[in-house]
Amino acid sequence: MADHPCIEIRARSPECVPCRIRLRDLCDEFGVVLGKIAANLRGRFSHAVSEAARDDLVAEVAEAALRGVEGYEGRRGAAFSSWVWAIYLRKRVDFFRRGEPRSVSLDSLEPWQEPEAEDDKEAQDVAEAVYEAIRLMETSGEAECTRLFQDLYRFLGIGKKQKDLAEHYGLKVNSLNQRISRCRRRLKELMGLA
């Protein structure tokens, strides 16, 4: 359980230390929202975050709220708790970005195995079916689909997006997606998969 004093202690308690939050008479709301933050971490992230790290995160949120409470200009109650919750969400994102050191057991990893000959044969059969379907598309007057597939492959290969390809063709993105979908359906038909 998170061990921040503001969760258990209220402003009326003799143990409460005068702070900026107490001076603004927001201790009760602060304690409630910190308790909800601790419960959220315990409930949603107990499998991914250690108890010590959860406590540290609650302390980081409390510290950030204490430092920034002068900038809070909202109404009392729900607005203050929403403000603290927003701090928590940002701190949680930062926490997961920087990550917590984890140990991975190498015993569970299996050594690399070369693909079996059957897998190679199956992949080769699929590649031949695709090649034959594309050849049929070109000879049957559906060359725009093969050109579209080539351009799509080229654009995605150099890190561009479908939006860029749509601009290249002078289309809206939805229109391009419909063309791609139509060409994929036709390719599947020619491969005998549809």
- Give the 3-state secondary structure of 85-135: HHHHHHHHHHHHHHCCCCCCCHHHCCCCCCCCHHHHHHHHHHHHHHHHHHH
Can you tell me the distance from the alpha carbon of 194 to that of 186, in angstroms, rounded to the nearest whole number?
8
pLDDT, position 2: 47
Does residue 139 come out as left (phi exceeding 0), alpha (psi in the -120 to 50 range) or beta? alpha
Q: Could you tell me the residue ranges of all domains in the chain?
A: 5-98, 132-191
Show the low-confidence residues of the chain (pLDDT under 70).
1-17, 74-78, 99-119, 194
Q: Is 121 exposed, middle or buried (0-12, 13-18, 19+ CB in 10 A)?
A: exposed
pLDDT, position 75: 57
Task: Report the SS3 class of residue 191.
Answer: helix
Q: Token digits for 87?
A: 């701090």
